[in-house]
Amino acid sequence: MKRLGYEVYATRSTADVLRQNGVDAIKVNKIHQEAPTVMDLLLEHKIDIVIDTPTQGRDKNRDGFLIRRTSIETGVNCFTSLDTVDALLTSLESNAKENLTLVDIATI
C-alpha cells in the first residue's frame, strides 16, 4: 500500500498482524479508547478508504458497525470483503503500468 502512496492505519492487534505480514501500519486507538481514535481520523477526513470485515451479529454498538456506518455517512469508501480489496489493489497496481477504461457492467 505504501508503494501506491497510501498509509495504512489499524487498531493495535490488526496493526500487529499486518506488520507480521509485511504491511507497515500506523497504530490508532479503538473508538472507546483515548484520542486520537479511528473515529477521530474518519471525522477529520484523514482516511480515504476503510477496510472493515464484519464479525458475526448485528450489534450496533460494535466498533466495526460504527466505523462502517460513519465511513458511509462521511463519504469514505468502505470495503467489507478482502476479495474486493484484493481486486482494488490489483487494479491500483496495474493502473500504474497501463491505462484502464471504465466498463458499465450492465452492458456486459
User: Which pLDDT value is given to residue 55?
Assistant: 73
Q: Give mean pLDDT in consecutive 10-residue pieces for the chain, a chain of 108 residues.
A: 84 91 92 93 92 73 87 94 89 71 81
Buried/exposed code over 18-53 (b: 16+ C-beta within 10 A; e: otherwise): beeeeeebeebbebeeeeebbbebbeeeebeebbbe
pTM higher than 0.75 = no
- Confidence at residue 91, expressed as pLDDT on a 0 to 100 scale: 83
Predicted pLDDT at 67: 92
CATH number, position 100: 3.40.50.1380
Residue-level pLDDT at 57: 63
Boundaries of domain holding 38: 2-107
How many domains is the chain built from? 1
